[in-house]
Amino acid sequence: MKETFLSAKFVTPSLIRMTIMSELPFTRPSAFLEIDGVPGRKIEPSRVTSLQSLSVIDYILDKPIELGHSFIIAIPNYGRSPVNVTELTESPWFNDRYTYDGDDLGATFSDDGVSFAIWAPLASRVILHYRKDREKKFEMVLMERTFRGVFRAKLQEKEGPIEYYFSITNNECTVRAVDPYAKSSSANGKTSFAIDFSKLEHDFSDRCLPRLQSPTEAVIYEASVRDLTISSYTDIVHKGTFVGLAEKGRKTLSGKLPAGLDYVKSLGVTHLQLLPIYDFKTVDEEHPLASYNWGYDPAQYFVPEGSYATDPNDPYSRVNELKAMVKAFHEQGIRIVMDVVYNHVYEYITHNLEKVLPNYYFRKRYNGTMASTSGCGDDLATEKPMVRKMILDCCKWWIDEYGIDGFRFDLMGIIDCDTLLKIKDYAKAKKPDFLLYGEGWNMGGDVNFPLGHMGNYRLLPDYGFFNDFFRENAKRYAAGELDAMNALKNAIISSSLDFIVPRHFLNGTQSINYVECHDNETYFDWLSNRYSNMNEDEKLKRVELANNLVLFSFGIPFIHMGQEIGQSKFGNGNTYNSGDRENKFSYRLLEEREEMYERFKKAVAFRKKAKLLHLYDPSTIANTMDVTDFDGAIRLFYLDQNFIAPKKQVSIFYNPSNRPLSYGEPIKCSASYVSCGDNSEQEKSHTVKIPAMSIVYTED
């Protein structure tokens, strides 16, 4: 009909709101509701609002609808329109009626076949497309709608892999979607694969991992699979892959220094935190070297990233190779921390979750617009029951099926606290020394429930937070900016005491101490940009001082890949898609700065054996420590109160100046550790000599 447009939606389960734009004279039209193509009962308008050429009409039904059907409203003289049901996901009625707590979503193998289950409560129809042989066409099965909007189908196939996808009809619109609970896929997530995980490797050599009594015993090293292995200056065979990172005995091309797995092992760190290893969107898995991305744009939460697999179209490749990589590190006594992104996706409107269930998975502001708190994409509505369930199921999967030992939560301040606590309950029950930490920035957002930012540290006692208070003051102090000294005194003792400034945390296990991570400039570049007259030799010494501030402070030390040798990103502060030149670990530079590498290893080794630095209780730290300063240097002084026996006293001196200092208090001290030069035991003396830009740890 000329210049007439209809639009209808369910506002509540029993209220339809129709909008008519028409040049026709307005009447109070009766309507007919068709359900699944069957002509329905006549319904009368309950309220009408009319302007020139625009009418909004409400129709109240005599009983609430049941989702899972096709709804068409027909108005004589005006036409027919599908009734959109997506707004019903905003109603408490939806959660009460359709939240599902079963553990069988996805594809599940059993003795009598494989079952498929997908939660799609708005859908009127779901078709499973599947094939066992990739040379054949897909077959189709109409899935049965069951309890709480879960669609199901079962095949007699008893072995995988089975390739599949879904056709889902929401609001009379049919789209193709992959399984949100898929555990493997073809390249670039075009199709899902069902494989029987009970027949795959499950021995992750956890017996090789020494039990941690406290998170403060950890030393975390951050890198990515690709960055650690892509360099042409090593003999790593499978560069940029899980397999390449698991290769043993690899070296720099000169044969002088270790590479890949052996390099990480040589550092002495306890944990390797890997940038995203789940399936992300912006790297073509069939041509991985044609582009670069860190991977903070999640596509499939349960699926390992295909660009890190040797064959992204083989559903077993990415799975088995990641499992083997985790096992290889465990055999060396190194735990794997997985960087997870449960706060946002790059763009909700094209995301698979939105295709499966429109208007549910993503958070909105009070005004109804999509929330993009991070500025990096659309926020996940982690507070919703089925989003929380998906996240918790995902975390369980990575722990149980891949042996993961910790989660680093990207922009944790966007995730609700209840979800984080449920993850903690499961992770700690499985592995008591499981590490949980994240970016606790308070990014705001229109919500009325607590989020996982640092301001809520008391609600999350088992979570660590990246300590930007430590970061900013350590960077400045290590650069020689003495006005940062007093604030740094608080940061050095874990930011968990009301000392000089108010506390930030409950205890030292919550403080992730760092000066550099994958975000922003490297510390070398920060110095270069801030101090144009500083020569390279001084910058490298100050990088070492900053590294040692991280290692010789209370809390959990965190080191970014390349930080140990003062690596640069050529001044680029945001290299998420810049390429290998800016992001790869430079093994050539490692050889050039071998002495820095050797000193870093000694510092890590000393941190691990210095039990005093593992203290985390603020009252214990307060009762054993005194902080003073002299000539711009900081001295931490510890008296033995049975915490550090058999030593009677320990001092740590931090000297950021470009000249050596002496501390002449009449006590006998021997230097157990000096951050530059010779670290061997020195002759006892009444005077402690602290070299320029260094840290000295003394005991008596």
* Catalytic residue list: 410, 439
Q: Is 543 in contact with 566 (CB distance < 8 Å)?
A: yes
Angle at 677 between CA 558 and CA 468, to 5 degrees: 20
DSSP code string of 513-539: E-S--SSS--HHHHHHHH-TT--HHHH
Reference 356, options 167, 182, 189; nearest CA is: 167
Instruction: Name the pairing type of β-strands 694-699 and 670-674.
Output: antiparallel
Q: Is 547 in contact with 596 (CB distance < 8 Å)?
A: no
Percent helix, strand, coil in the chain, to 5, is 30, 30, 45
Distance CA 583, CA 568 (A): 9
The pair of structure tokens assigned to 317 is 């490749």
Distance CA 560, CA 339 (A): 13
Q: Residues 636-658, buried b or exposed e (16+ Cβ, 10 A)?
A: bbbeeeebbeeeeebbbbbbbee
> What is the SS3 assignment for 552?
coil
* Per-residue DSSP letter, 410: T
Q: Within its chain, how far is the Cα of 505 from the centroid?
A: 21
Neighbours of 480 (CB within 10 A): 17
Which residues neighbour 87 within 8 Å (Cβ) at sequence distance 6 or greater? 9, 10, 11, 359
Reference 341, options 576, 584, 104; nearest CA is: 576
Element (H, E) at 303: strand 298-304
The pair of structure tokens assigned to 483 is 């006005």
Which residues neighbour 425 within 8 Å (Cβ) at sequence distance 6 or greater? none
Which residues neighbour 62 within 8 Å (Cβ) at sequence distance 6 or greater? 14
Q: Is 575 in contact with 556 (CB distance < 8 Å)?
A: no
Distance CA 434, CA 209 (A): 12
Residue 664's Cβ-count burial label (10 Å; 0-12, 13-18, 19+) is exposed
Distance CA 262, CA 249 (A): 7
Angle at 283 between CA 409 and CA 163, to 5 degrees: 90
Reference 669, options 654, 690, 655; nearest CA is: 690
Q: What are phi and psi of 349, to 5 degrees?
A: -65, -25
> What is the SS3 assignment for 14?
coil
Element (H, E) at 526: helix 523-530
First CA to last CA distance, the chain = 94
The pair of structure tokens assigned to 59 is 């129709």
Q: Is 455 in contact with 442 (CB distance < 8 Å)?
A: yes
Q: Is 28 in contact with 97 (CB distance < 8 Å)?
A: no
Distance CA 623, CA 616 (A): 12
Q: Is 180 in contact with 356 (CB distance < 8 Å)?
A: yes
Q: What are phi and psi of 15, to 5 degrees?
A: -130, 120
CA-CA distances (angstroms) from residue 532 to 42, 423, 491, 528, 529? 79, 46, 28, 6, 6
